[in-house]
Chain A
Amino acid sequence: MAAVIAAAFLYAGPAANFMHPDAARIIFFHVPLAILLIVWYLIAAVFGALSLRTGDLGHDARAACAAEVGLVCTILATISGSVFARAQWLTWWNWDPKQIAIVIVMFIYLAYFALRSQVPDEERRARLSAVYAILAGIASPFVLAVIPQLPVFQSLHPSGTITGGMSPDYRLVFWSSILGFWGITAWLYQLRLRIWRVEHQIAMRDWTLPGSPGTSGVAEVVTHHE
């Protein structure tokens, strides 16, 4: 990734079709985050569906971790997008359709975590948040990528940049950047999942310690049978 940052400054040249050609290099940091946030929300939706189908709480944890990584990407894409807006369009916030869309998506996923925090029962929480993750995962690409492109909205965002509008040097740095960001966010996802696993192990251990609710529950059942 250090190579991507160096290449953004030294290898990729100014982009001709931007108001400020030098500042176009911001897309190497902003756009990969904007793409990956959709990818992580889709991963959350897939694990949500698996959780709903199998009842496995591990899938629910995977969905929540993926959504959390997606939310981090959303926040960083919003801030770096604001820097892009300041550099290209001279104001930090333009109420551009894509800027509004990313804030809507951010609130959708803040609500996902608010929902999770308000349901203490693990299985109920898994079912409710799985349904939410599926619906939000389907809605997010539409809100972010389809609706702002409709002719009724006039977006300042350049269109078709990724699908063929880049010079070879830009394409190389851009896709290397996506790969680098993907690697780092996948690492963060793994670490976040490890937290869940260790918390789960601690909860299981505490449950089975002498005097804990788990063991007293077993003792009561045994006494009852005797």
Chain B
Amino acid sequence: MNDLYWVLAAALVAWIGLFAYLLFVEKRVRDLEERL
């Protein structure tokens, strides 16, 4: 496998991980602010 694919895989892990957490937190903030 081309080494650059591994670099892409590591970048995706970092970014998808942080983005998923961001979406989760953002949704929770929105839900709670609606309840308030």
Contacts and interface: CB of A to CB of B under 8 A. Distances in A.
Given A76-B18, A188-B25, A25 B32 contact: no
A3 interface: no
A42 interface: no
B14 A76 contact: yes
Interface stretch (A127-135, A138-146, A155-163, A197-205): A197-205
A198 B26 CA distance: 13
Nearest to B32: A198
Interface in A83-129: 83-84, 86-87
A158 to B, nearest CB: 16
B29 A80 contact: no
Nearest to A29: B14
A194 to B, nearest CB: 5
Contacts of B26: 191
Contact of B18 (A21, A87, A184, A205): A184
B7 A8 contact: yes
Contacts of B11: 5, 8, 28-29
A79 B10 CA distance: 8
Contact of A202 (B6, B15, B32): B32
A73 to B, nearest CB: 9
Contacts of A29: 10-11, 13-15
Given A76-B14, A80-B14, A9 B7 contact: yes
Interface in A180-217: 181, 184-185, 187-188, 191-192, 194-195, 198-199, 201-202, 205
B10 A26 contact: yes
Contacts of B2: 22
Nearest to B17: A76
A33 interface: yes
Would you list the 8 A-B pairs with minimal beta carbon distance, nearest first?
A: A87-B6, A22-B3, A23-B3, A198-B32, A26-B10, A76-B17, A29-B14, A83-B10
Interface of B: 2-4, 6-7, 9-11, 13-15, 17-18, 21-22, 25-26, 28-29, 32-33, 35-36
Interface of A: 1, 5, 8-9, 20-23, 25-26, 28-30, 33, 72, 75-76, 79-80, 83-84, 86-87, 181, 184-185, 187-188, 191-192, 194-195, 198-199, 201-202, 205
